[in-house]
């Protein structure tokens, strides 16, 4: 007879959990038979003592088996998904999903909402008038056939155990556990029906993984889980020390993503999008030129069809904040905004949420007025704060003051893609 206390004590004392213990505790918590405080205690024990690769894979399987798997039909294209561990200004999915579809892939992108300083893809897309995130399994399959890409909310029946556990982790300080992060991401991706997966694991001040070593550990664990569950997976570690592009916020990021889809936009957003597109194509064994399809406008056409298929109007004006305030440089030097500071400022302006049930402002966020590394003078405008609640400005300013925005040293540049984990696979 397995009991919750026995499982907690085993992990508290550094022992390996058995398959039976993992299967039971995950299923029992999902049914409400293990109390939240007991599962929170187990999550803390896992945070402190870890789980090995086999434990993590079994934990992932138990979360998958807590619900249904999305049985996607053969849509005539390789089904390849992409997931980012979250960052500041990370609007890559908005460009990548239609671009990958334009290249011949089918992209079933089940996405989430933002929490804290990291933005959420669904929050961004919901800034588009009429767009809806909730789709049925049949609607997802139909859109993959007709458009080639779908970005939507995870269906309630996919890995419900993860939904319950994540809510606990968020309020008990156990989010940074590598085994729990890995199993949370991979359970939803495996249940989501993709045949291949590319992971964008962020590294730096604006990421959950602040160091390359921590990011590498997470990436390796997720690639291992993918292999054990017959999901060809590779991961790339990418820089998140400064924001991606020039915007952090919902409508602001949508507008910037559309610029990239039209062949313009910030160079770093374009560069990372193309790098990830090439990883997805390589994983699927397809030969295509994503840069040409981006520059030609083909990907933008897929974007318009993707948005329209989910009720959105891709030509409608995006929301604009009622209050826009400029922040000026306090000293001369080189513009080097810290990703965490900018993300926290955007969150406090209303672009993000402190709790999952909080709402967000579509128009809130931060716009950078210079490229990173640009020489600026004292008193010169650095960035704009956008919000519908001007009383939030003081909190945003204090977040920006936590890290210098201007450096006396020239910006050395950065490699967006730091390294890769995992090997190519043929025909997912």
* 37-54 pLDDT per residue, tens: 999 999 999 999 999 999
pLDDT reading at 115 higher than 90? no
The Cα–Cα gap between 110 and 105 comes to 15
Is the pLDDT score of 390 beyond 80? yes
Short-list 397, 75, 90, 21, CA closest to 238: 90
* The Cα angle at residue 360 between residues 114 and 94, in degrees rounded to 5: 50
The pairing of strands 323-328 and 381-387 is: antiparallel
Listed in sequence order, the residues at least 6 apart from 74 whose beta carbon sits closer than 8 Å to its beta carbon are none
pLDDT for res 332: 97
| Strands, sheet with 417-421, edge to edge from the N-terminal-most edge strand | 80-84, 196-203, 233-239, 417-421
How confident is the prediction for the chain on average, in pLDDT?
A: 94
Q: Catalytic residues, which ones?
A: 83, 162, 169, 184, 188
427 pLDDT above the threshold of 50: no
Amino acid 426: pLDDT? 34
What's residue 176's pLDDT?
Answer: 84
Report yes or no: 381 and 151 within 8 Å, Cβ to Cβ. no
pTM of the model: 0.93
50 CB burial (10 A radius; 0-12, 13-18, 19+)? middle
Mean pLDDT of all residues in 236-258? 97
Question: Lowest-confidence range among 3-7, 89-93, 204-208, 269-273?
Answer: 204-208
Q: What is the pLDDT of residue 73?
A: 84
Beta bridge partners, 383, equal 327, 368
**Residue 151 pLDDT greater than 60, yes or no:** yes
52, 236, 339, 398 from 345: Cα distances, Å: 37, 27, 10, 8
> Can you give the pLDDT at residue 423?
53
Q: What is the pLDDT of residues 370-379, one digit of tens each?
A: 999 999 999 9
Q: What are 182-194's pLDDT values in tens digits?
A: 999 999 999 998 8
Where are any strands of DSSP class E within 12-88?
80-84
State the pLDDT confidence band at 414, using cuts at 50, 70 and 90: confident
Q: Structural domains in the chain?
A: 4-50 (1.20.970.10), 80-315+416-421 (3.40.1030.10), 323-407 (3.90.1170.30)
Helix (H) or strand (E) segment spanning residue 384: strand 381-387
């Amino acid at each position: 007879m397995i009991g919750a206390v026995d499982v907690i004590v085993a992990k508290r004392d550094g022992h390996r959990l058995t398959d039976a213990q993992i299967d039971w505790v995950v299923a029992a918590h999902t049914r409400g038979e293990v109390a939240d405080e007991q599962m929170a205690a187990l999550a803390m024990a896992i945070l402190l003592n870890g789980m090995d690769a086999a434990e993590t894979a079994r934990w992932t399987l138990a979360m998958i088996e807590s619900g249904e798997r999305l049985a996607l039909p053969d849509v005539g294209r390789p089904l390849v998904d992409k997931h980012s561990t979250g960052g500041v200004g990370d609007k890559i999915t908005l460009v990548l999903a239609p671009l990958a579809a334009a290249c011949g892939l089918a992209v079933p992108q089940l996405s989430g909402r933002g929490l804290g300083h990291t933005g959420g893809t669904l929050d961004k897309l919901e800034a588009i008038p009429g767009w809806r995130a909730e789709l049925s399994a049949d609607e997802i399959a139909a859109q993959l056939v007709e458009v080639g890409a779908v970005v939507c909310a995870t269906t309630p029946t996919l890995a419900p155990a993860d939904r319950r556990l994540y809510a606990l982790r968020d309020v008990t300080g156990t989010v940074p556990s590598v085994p729990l992060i890995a199993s949370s991401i991979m359970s939803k991706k495996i249940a989501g029906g993709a045949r291949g997966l590319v992971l964008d694991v962020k590294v730096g001040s604006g990421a959950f993984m602040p160091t390359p070593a921590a990011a590498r550990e997470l990436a390796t664990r997720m690639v291992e889980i993918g292999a054990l569950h017959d999901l060809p997976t590779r991961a790339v570690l990418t820089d998140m020390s400064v924001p991606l592009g020039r915007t952090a916020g919902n409508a602001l990021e949508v507008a910037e993503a559309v610029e990239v889809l039209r062949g313009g936009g910030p160079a770093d957003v374009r560069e990372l999008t193309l790098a990830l597109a090439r990883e997805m194509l390589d994983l699927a064994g397809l030969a295509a030129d994503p840069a040409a399809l981006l520059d030609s406008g083909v990907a933008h056409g897929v974007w318009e069809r993707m948005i329209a298929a989910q009720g959105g109007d891709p030509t409608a004006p995006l929301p604009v904040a009622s209050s826009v305030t400029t922040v000026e440089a306090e000293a001369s030097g080189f513009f080097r905004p810290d990703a965490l500071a900018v993300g926290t400022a955007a969150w406090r302006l209303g672009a993000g949420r402190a709790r999952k049930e909080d709402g967000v402002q579509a128009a809130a966020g931060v716009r950078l007025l210079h490229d990173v590394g640009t020489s600026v003078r004292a008193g010169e405008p650095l960035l704009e704060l956008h919000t519908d609640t001007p009383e939030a400005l003081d909190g945003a300013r204090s977040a920006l003051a936590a890290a210098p925005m201007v450096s006396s040293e020239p910006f050395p540049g950065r490699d967006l893609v730091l390294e890769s984990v995992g090997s190519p696979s043929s025909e997912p």
